[in-house]
Structure 1
Amino acid sequence: MGQVGATAPRAPRKLPPGRHGIPADQVAEDQRGRILAAVVTAVGERGYGGATVEDFTSRAAVSRKTFYQHFANKQAAFLAAYDETADRVVSALRNAYSAHADYVASARDALECTLRELAADPDAAVLGVVEVFAAGPEALRRRGEIIRTLTELITEHTRDLPQAAPGASFTAETIVGAVLEVLHNRVQRGEARQLPDLLPDLLYCVIAPFLGHERATEERAKVLRDPAG
């Protein structure tokens, strides 16, 4: 089973200096992309509390004036970078669940693409999974929206399972919360690159509540025998 969705580059290539005849909107898009990439890198390296606007501008090679033309403050830039990271992952998850009618296949693809996305960009993993807790109430609200979205995805794909419990939505919410906590712990320990190694055990955890220990054990063994699917 292949990867669903590919990790997109965080920023466009820097435009050449001087008079280049490039439209103003393209210049602005390039600047914004470089700033967001700088936010991800700076927050990944220094944390939200330690990162500064100066970190963003120096890494993006833009002036403070340019930064404030795009973002009101440090938090606004963080939220934009968080949304971009989260949207990429959630889009890949939606594709995974829409590609299969079978819950097991969709769950495996969804987990696989999430783990690969985060492992491919450890700084983005730090920003989206760990540092979101340090960025204020609005960041936590957006995280909560993502949890609801993921809960709805799982609920939608398990509601017709004969083994599904009456509280399928609550079970789905519990699964999402547990998986996010595992990811948080690993990323916080600097183990983002190793996240794909968690696929067999996480797959067991998301299957067992709906299909039972025996089926979950069987699917975990399949991943261990053939990680590529």
Structure 2
Amino acid sequence: MSRNSDVASTAAVELEALPPEAQAFHRRARIVDAAVREIAERGYGAVTVADIAERAGVTRSVFYGTFGDKQEALIWAYDAAAAYAIPQILDALAAERDWVRGAAAALGTYLTILDCDRAWALVCLRDVPAAGERARAARDAVRAPILRALEEQVATQPPAGVGVDTVLTAIDAVTIDCLRHDPGQSLLERQEELTALALAAFTDEPAALEPAAAELQESPFGGGELDVLLGGGETAQADLERLVIEAAAQRDGPALWRVVVALAQRRAAGERVAERAEQLALDALDEAWFFGLVLDPRRPPADAAVSHEELRHLRFLAAHPASTGEEIRRGLGVRHLSQVNRTLRRLEARGLVRRAPGAGRSSAWTVKSTSLDELLD
């Protein structure tokens, strides 16, 4: 998401030094993002709580202290994605006076958002409906305002058995197929095709529409505005508080997190901070949404999808090349060898480790790429 791309790093501030509210938000976000990426790779049914906890770099007890089960974590992820996407889709629909152009604009916004993080897109469309009754109920609640808005604008009665819900389901099916089998193609490239599919049942002459990416919602602190406010002294505090209140009203977790971390950095440097703005942000974090935000400075960007636990394996192998899975398990204190083997297979699939040549042991592993130097520092 464009609004998440400039979130302040915690590199200069240890997580443990942040207030408990910020640590809880960070923990919840890591678990949710780990759940999404694990489920995207393997499917909901194949993933366990232990898998999610391992990828997030937390214990099972920490997971269960945050979520009741993996379905609850998945529902939280879906609601977070919807909180970002649905208002923008509805705004795009309402911005056009002609309902055909409005529907096309809404679809373009939808596809643009899905393109931003394809792992989240796949899980929301494919795995949420398969995850159980609670997840399906959450999906139906999220889709309801979109369905109502479209049904209110449809000018032509569709054929029997074909309604807006049916059309949206068909679009999602095509989208899932593209996400699974054609990962190199942007979903937005299929906007014209999907628009024709969406409108076929409701109009004989859909307007000629030029496919175009939507302008996605920006954070209240986009474009360096937070740095300007923090450097503006007391005169800028009122504006900072106003934007924090705006982010809190939107449950904008990335924006609130950025404020908390930036203020912690300034405090650590011995500078005065806007304590009221900080407290407003902390108070709002408990109810704030997270969507695709990498919070841990020990983790690389989300598109690399290397977890803290995987980095532990990489560091061990960098220091102990040609180690077996059992040697890694003992060295890292992992309880089960199967956990180590799963992690090694993921790293192997990404081209980060390989079986050690000439080691005389088929189960020996070593780091494959010298490009890992920055990750292993």
Aligned residues: 212
Residues 132-173 of structure 1 show CA distances to partners (whole Å, capped at 9, x for unaligned) of 233112112222333433221211222xx3xx2288996323
Counterpart for residue 108 of structure 2: 112
Query: Which residue of 168, 171, 179 maps to 1:179?
Result: 171
Greater CA drift, 10-19 or 49-58: 10-19
1:77 and 2:73 correspond:
yes
Query: Which residue of 28, 53, 69 maps to 2:24?
Result: 28
1:39-188 equivalent positions in 2, closer than 5 A: 39-158=35-154, 161=155, 164-165=156-157, 171-188=163-180
In 1, the alpha carbon distance for the partners of 2:124 and 2:197 equals 22
Q: Match for 1:98: what amino acid? A: A
In 2, the alpha carbon distance for the partners of 1:199 and 1:153 equals 20
- In structure 2, relative to structure 1, the CA distance for the partners of 1:195 and 1:143 (3 Å cut) is same
Q: Match for 2:192: what amino acid? A: P
- In structure 2, relative to structure 1, the CA distance for the partners of 1:57 and 1:193 (3 Å cut) is farther
Query: Which structure's residues are more often helix, by fraction?
Result: 1
Residues 40-86 of structure 1 show CA distances to partners (whole Å, capped at 9, x for unaligned) of 11111121122222332233222322222110111211111122123
SS at match of 2:43: helix
Query: Which residue of 182, 192, 197 maps to 2:189?
Result: 197
SS at match of 2:202: helix
Structure 1 stretches of 5 or more lacking a match? 1-5
SS at match of 1:210: coil
Q: Match for 2:195: what amino acid? A: L
Contact 1:52 1:74 in 2 (8 A): yes
Q: Match for 1:63: what amino acid? A: T
Contact 2:108 2:213 in 1 (8 A): no
SS at match of 1:134: coil
In 2, the alpha carbon distance for the partners of 1:173 and 1:73 equals 29
Q: Match for 1:196: what amino acid? A: L
Q: Offset at 1:88?
A: 2.4
Runs of 4+ residues deviating >6 angstroms: 166-169
In 2, the alpha carbon distance for the partners of 1:227 and 1:19 equals 44
In 2, the alpha carbon distance for the partners of 1:68 and 1:140 equals 22
Contact 1:89 1:114 in 2 (8 A): yes
Structure-2-length-normalised TM-score: 0.50
SS at match of 1:209: coil
Contact 2:188 2:213 in 1 (8 A): no
Q: Offset at 1:92?
A: 2.0
Structure with bigger gyration radius: 2
Structure-1-length-normalised TM-score: 0.78
In 2, the alpha carbon distance for the partners of 1:34 and 1:152 equals 34
Contact 1:75 1:135 in 2 (8 A): yes
Counterpart for residue 200 of structure 2: 208
